[in-house]
């Protein structure tokens, strides 16, 4: 039996707590939402909220779609240290 979906407001409140785990998950290179979710042990539908928030504020950048039709996300040059 699957767990009930959490209130999206609760998921969004956790975004700042998820910044470092997500940045760690993409430290080796860009990853798709399902890959990030697997790496941090969170449901993909929650990871979407966090990644989109991080993208909005410039912490992550979007890369082209892969063969499966998923976009991948990586740390922005500033976050990864390339801009320092």
Alpha-carbon separation of residue 14 from 1, 33, 36, 50, 68 (angstroms): 25, 17, 16, 8, 28
Between 79 and 16, where is the model more confident?
Answer: 16
Structural domains in the chain (count): 1
Structure letter (DSSP) for residue 32: E
Summarised one tens digit per residue, pLDDT across range 25-60 is 999 999 999 999 999 999 999 999 999 999 999 999
In this structure, is residue 21 part of a structural domain? yes
**Alpha-carbon gap, residue 79 to 61, rounded angstroms:** 10
In this structure, is residue 63 part of a structural domain? yes
In this structure, is residue 65 part of a structural domain? yes
CATH number of the domain where residue 58 is located: 1.10.10.10
Give me the long-range contacts of 4-11 (CB less than 8 A, separation at least 24). 5/45, 6/46, 8/49, 11/46, 11/49, 11/50
Q: Which domain holds residue 45?
A: 8-75
Summarised one tens digit per residue, pLDDT across range 65-78 is 667 788 999 999 87
């Amino acid at each position: 039996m699957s767990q009930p979906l959490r209130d999206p407001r609760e998921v969004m409140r956790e975004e700042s707590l998820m910044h470092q785990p997500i940045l760690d998950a993409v430290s080796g290179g860009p990853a798709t939402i399902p890959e990030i979710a697997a790496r941090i042990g969170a449901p993909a539908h929650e990871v979407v909220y966090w990644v989109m928030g991080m993208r909005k504020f410039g912490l992550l950048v979007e890369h082209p779609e892969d063969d499966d039709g998923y976009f991948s996300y990586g740390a922005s040059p500033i976050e990864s240290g390339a801009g320092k």
